[in-house]
Chains A and B, each alone.
Chain A
Amino acid sequence: MGGGVAAVVFPDLIDEWTGLSEFGLGGEFVAAFIAAFVIGNLMMIMTALAGPWAKRKITAAFTDRIAVNRVGPYGLLIIPADAVRLLSKELIVPDGVDRPAWDLGPLIVASSALLGFAFIPFGSGVHLADPETGLIWVFAIASIASVGLVMCGYASNNKYSLLGGLRAVAQNVAYEIPLILTGISVVIFVGSLQMSEIVAAQSQELISIAGVSIPMWFAILNPFAFVLFLAANFAEIGRNPFDTPEAPTEIIAGYQTEYSSVYFVLIYLGEFLHIFLGAAIIATIFLGGPAGPVLPGIVWFLIKLWAVFLLTQWIRSAMPRFRIDQVLVFGWKLLLVGAFLNLILTAVIVGVIT
């Protein structure tokens, strides 16, 4: 860990604070475990508790409603109550499902997203691992979810689920490429795949207007790439207007039709985790990561995460869903071309400057 630049990552900090490093490899392992535990719990609190609550409140605000306000302050405790309710329901296993694929699907969906946060720099030293190939890792892990969705869709022995699974694959294949190509345009600027490097590159000053320094966030430097990446990302994580793999009004939630109880919770959790992982990638490579004035880095990072989450919910309330063929046309014919254009232009510009 800690490749080209000797970045200080979260487990090292824990080592330092607790003195665990004295116990050699075993101590380092415990420190790494504690660090992972902290980040994992932070994300679980955000996605499993705050996420669903915020989603309800945000949607309600858009649709002139009040939403949850009965259990606990601001209705917050409805989420634990819902979790208990869902977990205590019967886990219905339909006839003819393909086990163990059917059981593994939800686990993969949820865990793949959680794993991705290991490489995200939250700021204030909270950064679990910082390998040289950080960005590739994140993309690779995030796209494991497609495998989980296909497993869910195929193993459910349900035609709606099968359709949902097929749509998920078709869509992920179509949007993975523009997503990564656009990501690479950032890499060309930075010259490194390491997450800490990407963040550091964005902390430089772009221009200074009337004493206010505008940082070199890639969203500001290359808004075109930012928009491309946003669109590809929403398609990748299956959010509106690209939520065709779920499409409740057409194929009744697609790959998750047959899941109940704890498996449903896992898939639901996985979806939120993927929204937040998508948001984390956007924040890291386009919005300057944890950078920001006054407040500590981690607070800024969380603010950026929630801003992207808010955007997904806003779009959900206001945008119609594309049809699957339109989604694919949009991905292959528009986004992919745009991504290549962006990549070539970036390469040329960077080549000329340096």
Chain B
Amino acid sequence: MSVTEPLTDTETGELDYDAIFEILGDHIIDRESHVHTEAAVVRPDEVQSTLRILREDAGFDHLSCVVSQEYRDRFESVYYLKTYDDPTQEFGVVVPTSRDEPKSQTATGVYETAGWHEREAYDLVGIEYEGHPDLRRILLPESWMGHPLGLDYDQDRPQIVEYREHENPLEGHVEEGETMFINIGPHHPATHGVLHLRVVLDGEQVADLDPDLGYLHRCEEQCCQSGTYRHQIMPYPDRWDYASAGILNEWAYARTAENLADLDVPEYAQILRTMSAELCRICSHMLALGTFCLDIYGDFTAIFMYAMRDRERVQNILEELTGQRMMFNYFRLGGVVWDIPEPRQEFFDLVWDFLDELPAAIDEYHDLITTNEVFQTRTVNTGILEPDVAKQYGCTGPVARASGIDYDLRRDDPYGYYEELDWEVITEDGCDNYSRLLVRMQEVEESAKIIEQCIELLEEWPEDEREIQSNVPRTLKPDPDTETYRAVEGAKGELGIYIRSDGTDKPARFKIRSPCYHNLSVLPEIAEGEYVADMIASLGSLDIILGEVDR
């Protein structure tokens, strides 16, 4: 699929948009320019053919994000494409539809990941995707009336839930045949939050699986749309992936808003950002390791407690730095809010102590977990996720890297201070639960390397150049109708944000591309045909945080 060569400019190596527009030919009815990429406007009945050309002839194998929104005169779906080889190669496909009849052709069939994206768009905005195999609401309950992100949605209108919604759905239900329907969740010890899996079992094996989300939907996108760019949005990202990955989420918003408003970040602040973000990654991976082992071992065993202990140490460091243990609110547009606490040496010592003891801790984990033969029989060759499937479903982060997909935005689409530092992107090609664990464990070590280099830089940094924020206007009002989509490498994968401004100090549309959401969407592919126990283990190895899935 890597026919990308003819489309890149041979001199600069950058994407040659004219060439793309050329191969799309008649499909295009207009061109649009977004801050980060060019986009083609296509007719709503030509979505599939356009996307197929882009995937097969232009090499865009990653449907990164689908944004849907309502304008005064039209509905619009935007498909942002990337390539897994080089995520700086981006392209957009804009599909406007009429307000009277918001119907648009589905992109499923070309990109599987569009399935959940379009269900969400249908649920929240109200665009109907023709040809979609399963166009149901995904975040809101089936009985919901109206589409909350639509312009004419009346929040004060009471939701009427009819009596039949309260009826026992299994009343008079007789199971026939050899299979058994079972609800796993929303209150199940191993769903890592309030996730509901509708599972059909054939004996102990999973015959069919349908995730039901939305129990933790907190209207995060709408919350952000009603906050001002400068100050009011930044606290929200901490609450998406709340398992101590807050700073990574903050960076997603910071990167997008800085891209939109064209703000600079001082170098010193970039180092602080990089260091704190990697601390968060360690926290997050430690929790993932602990809970994954909890699913395999079945009790609160030593490993879970050890992982929590090590996570706690990182949280102490982050608390010193940000004043908070989980909801950090540390980034500001154009920098960070505080410098390292005085006396600095004490803080550096705290970090050094942690870094010195980390290798021994990692060894202990390898001793306890990865070299344990029972653990290997449980995890090796279970939960197989083939690279092609992973790409189709838009999987990113450790999940994709454990399937051998060498994709890490920190290196491939550089931001922060990562380019200047010496570290590796970890990949494994086992494609199984075991590989996903190994990737996370090794990434902890890589993060430690990054932190170490950051601390060395921070210790040596000239006293009078410790600038933590650039000059940012008190009120940010980006130009009307500028759109951008930027992503960072969160703990779970590509965490992207789309913002469209309308000239006010609040975003007109704020869309979160959650890595957990896409990683979870691949679960039926992984788990069908497996044993229940392995399905639970696979779910654990995908490392989802429901706060980020449901937003």
Q: Measuring CB to CB, which residues of chain A are less than 8 angstroms from any residue of chain B?
A: 59, 62-65, 159-160, 163, 240-241, 243-244, 247-252, 316-326
Contact = CB atoms under 8 A, between A and B. Distances in A.
- The 3 A-B residue pairs with the shortest CB-CB distance, nearest first, are A63-B305, A249-B190, A321-B298
Interface stretch (B267-275, B331-339, B489-497, B529-537): B529-537
B305 to A, nearest CB: 4
Contact of B536 (A243, A250, A322): A250
Contact of B301 (A63, A163, A322, A325): A63
A243 B296 CA distance: 12
B211 to A, nearest CB: 17
B61 to A, nearest CB: 34
B74 interface: no
Interface stretch (B141-149, B152-160, B371-379): B371-379
Contacts of B536: 249-250
24 contacts: A63-B302, A63-B306, A64-B305, A159-B182, A244-B533, A247-B298, A247-B533, A248-B189, A249-B189, A249-B536, A316-B299, A317-B299, A318-B301, A319-B297, A320-B293, A320-B296, A320-B374, A322-B374, A322-B377, A323-B378, A323-B531, A324-B204, A325-B204, A326-B378
A159 to B, nearest CB: 5
Given A64-B305, A322-B377, A323-B534, A250 B190 contact: yes
B188 interface: yes
A240 B378 contact: no
Interface string B73-101: 00000000000000000000000000000
Contact of A64 (B189, B306, B374, B532): B306
B298 A243 contact: yes
B533 A323 contact: yes
Interface string B266-293: 0000000000000000000000000001
Given A163-B204, A247-B298, 8 more contacts: A63-B302, A160-B182, A249-B189, A319-B374, A320-B378, A322-B378, A323-B531, A324-B533
Nearest to B378: A320
B31 interface: no
Residue from the set A63, A249, A317, A324 with the largest chain B CB neighbour count within 10 Å:
A249
Interface string B365-387: 00010001011011000000000
Contacts of B309: 64
A159 B180 contact: yes
Interface string B188-200: 1110000000000
Contacts, number: 82
A281 B345 CA distance: 61
B100 to A, nearest CB: 47
A250 B305 contact: no
B351 interface: no
Q: How large is the interface on B (under 10, 10 to 19, 20 to 34, 35 or more residues)?
A: 20 to 34
Nearest to A62: B302
B300 interface: yes
Contacts of B298: 240, 243, 247-250, 320-321
B302 A317 contact: yes
B249 to A, nearest CB: 28
B42 interface: no
A312 B258 CA distance: 57
Nearest to A65: B305
A251 B297 contact: no
B428 interface: no
Contacts of A250: 190, 298, 532-533, 536
Nearest to B187: A252
B300 A63 contact: yes
A46 B70 CA distance: 69
Residue from the set B204, B295, B296, B300 with the largest chain A CB neighbour count within 10 Å:
B204
B508 interface: no
A248 to B, nearest CB: 5
Contacts of A248: 189, 298-299
A318 B532 contact: no
Nearest to A318: B302
A130 B262 CA distance: 89
B294 interface: yes
Nearest to A323: B533
Contacts of B378: 320-323, 326
Nearest to A251: B532
Nearest to B199: A159
Interface in B188-234: 188-190, 204
A252 B188 CA distance: 7
Interface string B300-337: 11101110010000000000000000000000000000
A278 B349 CA distance: 52
Contacts of A241: 374
Contacts of A160: 182
Contacts of B375: 320
Nearest to B295: A249
A324 B203 CA distance: 11
B437 to A, nearest CB: 12
B301 A317 contact: yes
Contact of B294 (A65, A249, A252, A324): A249
A322 B373 CA distance: 11
Contacts of A323: 378, 531, 533-534
A134 B341 CA distance: 72
Contacts of B296: 320-321
Given A64-B306, A159-B182, A249-B295, A318 B533 contact: no
Contacts of A324: 204, 531, 533
Residue from the set A244, A252, A320 with the largest chain B CB neighbour count within 10 Å:
A320
A322 B372 CA distance: 12
Interface in B471-504: none
B438 to A, nearest CB: 16
Contacts of B189: 248-249, 252
Residue from the set A63, A159, A243 with the largest chain B CB neighbour count within 10 Å:
A63
A249 B372 CA distance: 20
Contacts of A252: 188-189
B299 A240 contact: yes
A318 B305 contact: no
B400 to A, nearest CB: 25
A318 B369 CA distance: 9
A247 B188 CA distance: 12
A21 B255 CA distance: 91
A137 B487 CA distance: 68
Interface string B169-199: 0000000000010100000111000000000
B540 to A, nearest CB: 8
B37 to A, nearest CB: 43
A163 B532 CA distance: 11
A275 B293 CA distance: 25
Contacts of B305: 63-65
A198 to B, nearest CB: 32
B302 A320 contact: no
Contacts of A319: 297, 372, 374
Contacts of B304: 63
Nearest to B376: A320
A163 B298 CA distance: 16
A127 B534 CA distance: 46
A325 B531 CA distance: 9
A54 to B, nearest CB: 16
Interface string B521-544: 000000000011110100000000
A300 to B, nearest CB: 30
A296 B70 CA distance: 85
